[in-house]
Amino acid sequence: MEDKNARAAVLPVSTLTEPLLPGKGEDLEAAQLPSYGGASFSRTCLNLTNAVSGIGVLSMPYAVAQGGWLSLALFALVGAICYYTGTLIERCMRADPAAVASYPDIGAFAFGSAGRRAVAAFMYVELYLVAISFLVLEGDNLDKLFSGATVDLLGYRLQGKQLFIALAASVVLPTTWLKNLGVLAYVSAVGLVSSAVLTVSLVWAGLAGTGFHRNSTSVLNLSGLPTSLGLYFVCFTGHAVFPTIYSSMRNNKHFSKVLLISSVLCSVNYGLTAMLGYMIYGDDVQSQVTLNLPSGKLYTKVAILMTLINPLAKYALLAAPITAAIEEKFSVPCGSGPARVAISTVVVVSTAVVASTVPFFGYLMSFIGSFLSVMATVIFPSLCFLKIYKAKGIRRIEIAAITGILIIGVFVAVTGTYTSVRQIIGTF
């Protein structure tokens, strides 16, 4: 077992007295990547915002329908919690830049090999399921846009959702071969533009279609709150790739600023989409708001097109840690292009196969948010931070805050997971 005194000696002075947004006088340069190999501040903003701004945006109106208008207060709370736990991940990364370069490394630094295995298991399963949900989303919406499409390929007939999942997988495949996150920022920019246009298309739908005055809306629905909370956590999931993005920065002392900008931008977009979608469709809103849009309308085509672009631009960010872990597991030499292409291809193909068998997008997203995302976003960062910095002392007020966050996380994980699993079982 690792000697506790030896490990305590490498810990830095506690960062708990530091402001969340580092000032100019702080010396964090030791954690920086070489300037020639890192992504700039603006490109990191694009990557992080793209990572946080996931397909959960499509389920926001459904989340409000499940919990009622007052559940938006919980959405604001979830956003604040996820921002704060994101800063905890950064501070864990700074504890020992030489030893901590990934999320599993944080678990290992805090709890040894058992911590690494636990964090890695939840992290990679979460990323894998979110990647699957991306392809499910692509299949559902393309099937709505081009219903009845059929293709015969190598003796097999692909049609409907399965056809479009295969098509989407073939489109995202080349983006997973990119290793440089600075280059991937251009793909991220496309994803962010599509998110903004999707929100505009909902405004368009409200003005040109049914309007914004639905009476079938509820103020509070206690029985639906677990589902709402799970979906809200899905919106801010992305913590599993924070260490990858942090390590990719040219000057990672600005990570907290990037995180704040990304969190605010995503929260505004999520909030607008939630209110607009629920005002238009009320309690009849579906798990993907785009499925409520009437067929044949121009704004429907625009919305679905943006919905299709968004996951395509995010898939590579989620697949990057999975591919890197497999490369490390099999000791693939750094810079081995053919090996990376082969591994990425296997990951994409496997997610496409699983996606073809998953019929319940909303329930899958709720399960991911309630169980996996809460573990990666709330529970692991809090526990690892307390373990790493307890030797240097932690302010009581912050211990109280983290304890409260852990209680909320456990509550959401238990109640949300039970609800979503029961709903998934009920579909068979």
Candidates 387, 415, 417; CA nearest to 115 is 387
pLDDT in tens, 337-387: 788 788 888 988 888 888 887 656 666 666 776 777 788 889 999 999 999
Q: In the prediction, which pLDDT does 112 show?
A: 92
Domain 28-426 is classified in which CATH homologous superfamily?
Amino acid/polyamine transporter I (1.20.1740.10)
Burial class (CB in 10 A: 0-12, 13-18, 19+), 248: buried
User: In whole angstroms, what is the distance from residue 44 CA to residue 42 CA?
Assistant: 5
Residue 264 has pLDDT above 70, yes or no: yes
Lowest mean pLDDT among 119-123, 271-275, 327-331, 399-403: 327-331
Residue 295 has pLDDT above 80, yes or no: no
pLDDT in tens, 195-226: 778 778 877 877 776 666 665 678 888 888 88
Question: pLDDT exceeding 90 applies to what percent of the chain?
Answer: 14
pLDDT band at 23 (very low <50, low <70, confident <90, very high): very low
Q: In the prediction, which pLDDT does 317 show?
A: 73
DSSP helix/strand/coil, 186? helix
Q: In the prediction, which pLDDT does 221 show?
A: 87
DSSP helix/strand/coil, 77? helix
CB 163 within 8 A of CB 151: yes
Q: In the prediction, which pLDDT does 25 show?
A: 35
Question: pLDDT exceeding 70 applies to what percent of the chain?
Answer: 79
Residue 159 has pLDDT above 60, yes or no: yes
Task: Tell me the one-letter amino acid at 129.
Answer: L
Residue 406 has pLDDT above 70, yes or no: yes
Counting every residue, how long is the chain?
428
β strands within 107-233, DSSP E: 150-153, 156-159
Candidates 300, 217, 270, 353; CA nearest to 49 is 270
Report yes or no on whether pTM surpasses 0.75: no
pLDDT band at 24 (very low <50, low <70, confident <90, very high): very low
